[in-house]
Structure 1
Amino acid sequence: MRPASILFALAIVLAAAPSPAGIVRPAPLAVEDGSGLRVPFDRFLAEGPAVVHLWATWCAPCLAELPELKGFLDRNPALAERVLVVSVDTAPMARVTGFLVDRLGLEGMGSLRVVAGNAGMTFGVTAYPSTVFIDGTGAVAARHAGPLDWSDEAVRLRIERHLSGVSAPQ
């Protein structure tokens, strides 16, 4: 095989190799809020580290977890500003908001909804719920697949440390 062919083949293999978790950057997403305002998701990431919680109305574990998440956000208002709750539903936002209130009784639970892009591909998650820790540069620092125990003090401390930029989540 000629050296040029070997280099070309190597370049293709390296281009297809998965990148490390810390290098994955969110691809463009657009979300809407409860008022119907549509904004690029990266606008939220420009403000510093964030925790992104992805959920869906059709996800049974999500439904069990959301009341715990709401309790966490209510108990920790300073952290709640940087914990972004994002629905991956294709249903209209009014239906998502109605679901939170009517089905789960979560009055005042704010959620964004993805309206453009694919949150799973953007954040490298394959199941819901998933919680993604985004660092101050907008890169994915860590992912947690499945429900979190939002009443666990260790979870609160992990989120607090992450959002303060003191240390990367484990």
Structure 2
Amino acid sequence: MATMLTDSDLDGSQVTLPAVRQETDRPMVVNLWASWCPPCRREMPMLEKAQQERDDVAFVFVNQGESVDAVETFLQRESLSLDHLYRDPNMAFGRKVGAMAMPTTLYYNGDGQLVDTHFGELSRATLDRSLERFDP
């Protein structure tokens, strides 16, 4: 996998995107987001639902630059339950992948190769169209 960045999960442990990929052994949708970003907030419930519906794809949520408290407050307030939730406190991951705006969504195939990128808010139709490349 091209991106070898370390992100910090909410308990402070260090993880790498390749380690998440290896753990899940599935294609990945990686969403870069922040709680202060209106489009991020709007798309998050749809992404949570897609995460619940698609067990053949790992959804990874990488918060950009916010504190643990800010992330936890947002998740509680919005009643969101997200798997594979990590923080990128210095936004190094976002810089590495060229994310100039949020939200940014990255699609990695089963081999860990970046196959698509979407800048801006996702609709369910756009997400579904991008996920078709992972269908057998």
Shift of 1:116: 6.2
Letter of the 2:112 counterpart: G
Q: What is the rounded CA distance, in whole Å, between the counterparts of 1:159 and 1:31 in structure 2?
A: 26
Equivalent pair of 1:131/1:145 in contact (CA under 8 Å): yes
Alignment of 1:13-162 (within 5 A): 25-32=2-9, 34-46=10-22, 47-74=25-52, 76-79=53-56, 82-91=58-67, 93-102=68-77, 104-106=78-80, 108-110=81-83, 111-115=85-89, 118-150=92-124, 152=125, 155-156=127-128, 158-162=130-134
| Matched length | 133
Task: Structure 1: give runs of 5+ residues left out of the alignment.
Answer: 1-23
What TM-score does the superposition give when structure 2 sets the normalisation length? 0.79
Bigger-Rg structure (1/2): 1
What TM-score does the superposition give when structure 1 sets the normalisation length? 0.65
Q: What is the rounded CA distance, in whole Å, between the counterparts of 2:29 and 2:72 in structure 1?
A: 20
Give the match's secondary structure for 1:158.
Answer: helix
Report the aligned-residue RMSD. 2.5
Higher strand share: 2
Equivalent pair of 2:7/2:86 in contact (CA under 8 Å): no
Give the match's secondary structure for 2:88.
Answer: strand
Identity among equivalent positions (%) equals 25
